[in-house]
Amino acid sequence: MTAESGAVVAVRMPQFNVNDEEVTVLEWRVGDGGRVAEGEPLCEVETSKAVGELPSPATGIVRHAVRSGDVVKVDAVVAYIGPSAEVVDSYLSMLSWHVAAQPAVAAATEVQATAGAIELARRMGVDLSLVPATEGRIRRSDVERYLAEHPPVTPQEDGGDRSVAVADQVLPPALEEMVEETEALSNHQWAIAQHLQQTQARMVVAHAMMDVYMQRAVEWVEARKKAGRMASPLAVLIKAAAAAVAACPKLQAFRLNRRVFRYRRLDIAFTVRSHQGLLYTPVVRDVGRLSLSEVANRCGELAMAAFRGELADADLAGGCLTVSLLNDQPVRFHVGLQNNYQTALLTSGAIRDELRLVEGRPVAVPTIMLTLSYDHGLLDGWDAAVALDAVRRQIEEWRFDKL
Amino acid sequence: MIDKIRKCMASALKLDDATVAGVDTQTTAADVPGWTSVAHLSLVLELEKTFGVRIGNDEIASLGSVSAIMSCLQQKGVC
């Protein structure tokens, strides 16, 4: 394994002996900030039975998470390895609670604590001066006990933009023989996962669904294609989402605990999955002022930029809600997760033929199922139904005369 | 040029031989089942690689026909 590709590898203390729950780090063989190659000795360790070496699982720059002489639990992180010190430090910063990290570090100089305790306290935002020591100085196990008794509170009371602490998730021993660790998430995937975790911690997610007949929308897309202009039902959904916001203005706002913020402009994001499998949510600006054709063109531009990996920060910032269309896959519906600082996500499954009674006769009509995932802390089920019905009416009753 | 465009379409839009053989200068996205808005992005990348040109993001939406693709490539100096 190499950390040169950009990923940061957390080095965990392996279980050398079945009965050992703790291992002592005797001496680092690679200094903090030093370079190590995969397989080279990282540190000297002592178990209950012997002294040995911990080989490095990756190549790169090392950042120590514990000090020489520390006793660490099996599976505890003892070091991080990345392509550069900057990348590792940035990664550690991302893991930490930015504001709370400072007291933990400061407190560490005033109280006796192991490096493992300091690392965990910094990551979880724990003030070490509050942690009782059981054996003279505060150990990692003391911080773990403190965290069990005082779990971190999310969302933040002040609604500030802090990263959600990511608890150290340890593989249950019973699974160790049944699974093998594979390639970790890329930085892009990890950022999305954290982003969505943060969002879910902040809102009360509920969903409403509705079938929408797409006959006119499909005819518009086909007519546009015949004219040599690309389009997809996505543009129709984005324009219809603007109608939903008009019917339910709360969709243009979001909630941070009790505080509510409203976007000044009706910008709507949409999801793009690049050919490399990376997800992006570029934003179409001022949707209310654009024609359907202009929305379709803008979607094409932004989607192409996403495919090329050329989206700028300005293309991704803001957006009061997101539209996600999965019409290339045979799913009836999908329930997505809202983006941060948005209240709702409008998703659609594939267009399918549904029998509908027209003048007493069954007729196959192209249909989609829309799902509105919303923050129940700001909208209630009635609001969601009103919003969805506005989308439905916009799409079913639209006169798609301009290509 | 049309043969190279057909190859690009076959690759990016995952077309079978019969469909590719039916592609001519009158073909539009409406005539080719696999020519979706998402597949269109892959087609643009394939055209750029094959012909060594850069197609502007703002040109993408208007390239939904073979004649539009040919016209775009000719404007970029491809014969």
What would the pLDDT profile of A205-258 be if each residue is shown by its tens digit? 999 999 999 999 999 999 999 999 998 899 999 999 999 999 999 999 998 888
| Mean predicted confidence (pLDDT) in A93-101 | 43
CA-nearest residue to A272 within chain B is B38
Q: B30 with A232: CB under 8 angstroms?
A: no
Q: Is the pLDDT of residue A391 over 50?
A: yes
Residue B30: which of A225, A296, A307 has the nearest Cβ?
A: A225
Chain A residues lying within 8 Å of B59, measured CB to CB: none
Q: Give the pLDDT band (50/70/90) at residue A91.
A: confident
Chain A residues lying within 8 Å of B37, measured CB to CB: 230-232, 234, 299-300, 303
Structural domains present in chain A: 9-160+187-191 (2.40.50.100), 204-397 (3.30.559.10)
Cβ neighbour number for residue A116 with a 10 Å cutoff: 26
Beta strands in A117-258, from DSSP E residues, in sequence order: 205-213, 253-256
| Mean predicted confidence (pLDDT) in A186-204 | 83
Which ipTM did the prediction report?
A: 0.89
DSSP bridge pairs for A81: A9, A62
Per residue in A267-279, pLDDT (tens digit) is 999 999 888 888 8
Q: Is the pLDDT of residue A104 over 60?
A: no
Structural domains present in chain B: 2-75 (1.10.1200.10)
Euclidean distance between CA atoms A264 and A391, whole angstroms: 21
Per residue in A310-322, pLDDT (tens digit) is 888 889 888 999 9
Please enumerate in sequence order all residues whose Cβ is within 8 A of that of A139, keeping only pairs 6 or more positions apart, or say none. Answer: A71, A113, A114, A116, A117, A133
Interface test with A, best of B23, B37, B40, B60 (most A CBs within 10 A): B37
**Structure-token pair, residue A212:** 């929408």
Interface test with A, best of B60, B62, B63 (most A CBs within 10 A): B60
Euclidean distance between CA atoms A346 and A126, whole angstroms: 38
Q: Is the pLDDT of residue A55 over 70?
A: yes
pTM for this entry? 0.64
The conformational region for residue B52 under phi > 0 = left, psi -120 to 50 = alpha, else beta, is: left
Question: What one-character DSSP code corresponds to residue A2?
Answer: B
Residue A2 has what pLDDT? 55
Burial of B37 (0-12, 13-18, 19+ CB in 10 A): buried
